[in-house]
Amino acid sequence: MKLCVAVLLFYMFQVIHGQPDYQGFISIDCGIPLNSTYQDSITNIVYVSDYGFITTGENRIISSDYMEPSLAKRYSNLRFFPHGPRNCYTLRSLVMGNKYLVRASFYYGNYDGLGKPPVFDLYLGTNYWHEVNYSDAGAFNWMDIILVVPTDYLQVCLVNKGMGNPFISGLDLRPLNTTLYPEVNASQSLVLVNSNRFHMGPTDNSIIRYPSDPLDRIWTTYNAIPNCTKISATSPMHNNLRDVYDVPPSVMQNAATVNSSRIDFSWNPSDPSANINSKYFFIFYFAELQHVPSKAVRQFDIIVNNKTWNSRPYTPTFLFANYFSGVVQGMENYSVSLVATKNATLPPILNAMEMYLVKPITAVATDPEDARAMMAIQDNFGVVKNWMGDPCTPKTFIWRGLNCSYPPANPSEIMGLNLSSFGLVGAISTNFRDLKALQYLDLSHNKLSGPIPNFIGELSSLMFLDLSSNDLSGPIPYSLLQRSQNGSLSLRVGGNPNLCGNGTSCRTVRKKINGTLLAAIVVPIVIAITLFVILFLLRQALKGKAKRKATGHEDGSALLGSREFSYKELKHITNNFSQEIGKGGFGPVFLGYLENGNPVAVKVRSESSSQGGKEFLAEAQHLTRIHHKNLVSLVGYCKDRNHLALVYEYMPEGSLQDHLREPLLLVNHSLGSSVFRSPLMLHKVLSICTSPVSQH
């Protein structure tokens, strides 16, 4: 029981945050209070609110005139969109390239008292789905689309076309096995405009859906076959594993038949936007439901618009579903005839059928990585504006502040981003780094704070960067300064009082620290130093005792004053080791710049170097101990897993090699000694080898 509750909570927690549930279903009851959920009493599906899927729109309850006790909860309320030309739901955590059924449901119910259902357009991201034009205020309507998703998210957009505010009552997403509906692929989808998915059950208005249909397709009763009789299976139906439409047994267990030798009916798309170019995809399902006496024959032809679909006279299989499917085009009226053959003694039957509009998927959207980055930037800064749906496409709905490329037949890329005066607060989002084609970035006049991240300098297409009038602090990354100096980047950083690196040293900034900050920083430091001194004195006292027994090394802390760099820091300092300025004893030397703009030479042990960590550290040791007139001073070192490096002050005059040669010789000279036993932590090595020089 506890487990059940825990499991239930877990799943509810999942769906609340805009994720698919454990079956991969997303079931949104648009218009219920934010964060509320409930379980549908008939399907047991848990419906969630719009929260996490959309940020715009308002909730409404339908007019009491249209409230009926039998009305499903999801139709009693809706979400409508009085503002903006395009409002979009974003369904996340999908599997790119997988097949899904998406269903949008509409029940107008005169919620706005205007007595006139609006007409608007539905889009899936960039691709036009269909017009929504359901003129009956009191009718349940839904529109399905079966498609392959091009990305791991899908946006369902409602577009206002000046004929009333778009609204929506429910939005469902169901995953389909990719082997199902093989007609659906990356370039073609199937749309169910009206409820054109039919079973032949005897009861009018009976709906078959989940859990009877595990895919949660909605099947309604078909009543338009003239003079037909409904028959039912006398034994349980079976699933036909080769059925690529996976029609459920509950749908197949009823069929329509007639007293004559043929079933004739016509079907009309009843879609105002259908025209001569509209292509439809029909699927007819057949299964024998009755024990056919040995002498009897049920055999017929399937004729659609005067065209025979079966190549041989067709006899349905007992209790197993078969189907005939095909594309038909160019009619406002489709005729279907099932005609018994001459040899038949039993009339034709029909168990179920589906009629889809064939919809090519042609529009190219924004590059998925760019689109994801923009959505993340939007989440990060809480930008609303018109930032909904695909960022660049369709062009008429481009997100404010964006400038995109529209190469024919290729995804759009974001070339420019002008978020000047967008009210952005906080650190510069790391998501900007994914906008690989970005040329212009204007983030001026916001409240951005923290350092300018290094990755900005790595945006290779960037030509214009305006970070002025923010609250950024710290150094300007070397890569940016370099690009600004060589003219490949126009850089504006003015109006950031705490920025340094362009002429100004970071140190001058520190003087500006105010009283409270001072207290917050200095007091802990003083305490820490006091503690350290006490510990150090204690240790010295203990050492003194030990010294009497052991040979006695001085405890040197020559390197303690120098800085330890991480490998990552070195990468930044040297702009990814881009500028090699010489070769040292055991590897290359690179030019780099510290945060304060001071140039440094970074000497890295190469992979191929015969010298090991011990020798390397020995050099560090010597350099800090030996005061030599030609010697450059050591700024710090790096011992980060396998990476060993030394950071020196850079002396532009003369060859660095000259400056480095002598200490190297000294190091080599000391190799004969057996002092360097412990290659452990640098400070350990140091404490062991503080006196090697005195040994030779």
Ligand X SMILES: *[C@@H]1O[C@H](CO)[C@@H](O)[C@H](O)[C@H]1NC(C)=O
Residues lying near ligand X in the complex (CB under 6 A) are found at: 16, 34-35, 51, 119, 133, 135, 177, 179, 183, 185-188, 226-227, 229, 259, 266, 268, 272, 305-306, 313, 333, 335, 341, 343, 403, 416, 418, 420-421, 440, 442, 484, 491, 493-494, 502-503
Least CB distance from residue 126 to ligand X, whole Å? 17
- Cβ nearer to ligand X, comparing 119 with 143: 119
Scan for tokens 């577009």, then name that residue. Answer: 159
Least CB distance from residue 481 to ligand X, whole Å? 7
Task: Name the residue type at position 556.
Answer: G
- Cβ nearer to ligand X, comparing 386 with 418: 418
Least CB distance from residue 419 to ligand X, whole Å? 8
- Cβ nearer to ligand X, comparing 35 with 508: 35
The Cα 339–Cα 343 span in angstroms is 11
- Cβ nearer to ligand X, comparing 305 with 380: 305
- Cβ nearer to ligand X, comparing 311 with 551: 311
| Backbone phi, psi, residue 266, to 5° | -115, 155
Q: How far is CA 627 from CA 492, 562, 696, in A?
A: 43, 15, 16
With beta carbons less than 8 A apart as the criterion, state whether 58 and 168 touch: no
Least CB distance from residue 185 to ligand X, whole Å? 4
- Cβ nearer to ligand X, comparing 495 with 582: 495
Q: Is the peptide bond before 166 cis (omega within 30 degrees of 0)?
A: no
Per-residue 3-state assignment (H helix, E strand, C coil) for 73-115: HHHCEEEECCCCCEEEEEECCCCCCCEEEEEEEECCCCCCCCC
Per-residue 3-state assignment (H helix, E strand, C coil) for 26-77: EEEECCCCCCCEEECCCCCCEEECCCCCCCCCEEEECCHHHCCCCCCHHHCE
Least CB distance from residue 622 to ligand X, whole Å? 39
Least CB distance from residue 546 to ligand X, whole Å? 56
- Cβ nearer to ligand X, comparing 227 with 311: 227
Least CB distance from residue 219 to ligand X, whole Å? 20
- Cβ nearer to ligand X, comparing 33 with 552: 33
Least CB distance from residue 453 to ligand X, whole Å? 16
With beta carbons less than 8 A apart as the criterion, state whether 565 and 647 touch: yes
Residue 153, burial from CB neighbour count under 10 angstroms (0-12, 13-18, 19+): middle
The Cα 273–Cα 387 span in angstroms is 29
The Cα 323–Cα 178 span in angstroms is 19
Least CB distance from residue 116 to ligand X, whole Å? 11
Reduced DSSP (H G I as helix, E B as strand, rest coil) percent helix, strand, coil of the chain, to 5 = 20, 30, 50
Indicate the Cα dihedral angle 603, 604, 605, 608, nearest 10°: -120
| Backbone phi, psi, residue 306, to 5° | 70, 5
Least CB distance from residue 556 to ligand X, whole Å? 42
- DSSP category for residue 359: E
- Cβ nearer to ligand X, comparing 214 with 544: 214
Task: Name the residue type at position 155.
Answer: Q
Stated as kind and residue range, the H or E segment containing 208 is: none
Closest CA to 385 of 371, 394, 373, 374: 374
Least CB distance from residue 12 to ligand X, whole Å? 11
| Backbone phi, psi, residue 496, to 5° | -120, 90
Closest CA to 356 of 278, 263, 266: 278
Non-local (6+) Cβ contacts of 583 within 8 A are 589, 657
- Cβ nearer to ligand X, comparing 205 with 259: 259
Closest CA to 609 of 667, 551, 526: 667
Non-local (6+) Cβ contacts of 520 within 8 A are none
Q: How many CA atoms lie within 13 A of 311 on its CB side?
A: 0
Let me know the angle formed at the C-alpha of 126 by 120 and 129, rounded to the nearest 5 degrees. Answer: 45
Least CB distance from residue 560 to ligand X, whole Å? 36
- Cβ nearer to ligand X, comparing 403 with 431: 403
- Cβ nearer to ligand X, comparing 212 with 657: 212
Least CB distance from residue 35 to ligand X, whole Å? 4
- Cβ nearer to ligand X, comparing 478 with 616: 478
Least CB distance from residue 525 to ligand X, whole Å? 32
Question: 327: which strand partners?
Answer: 281
- Cβ nearer to ligand X, comparing 421 with 633: 421
Q: Is the peptide bond before 293 cis (omega within 30 degrees of 0)?
A: no
- Cβ nearer to ligand X, comparing 193 with 573: 193
Q: How many CA atoms lie within 13 A of 405 on its CB side?
A: 16
Least CB distance from residue 398 to ligand X, whole Å? 9
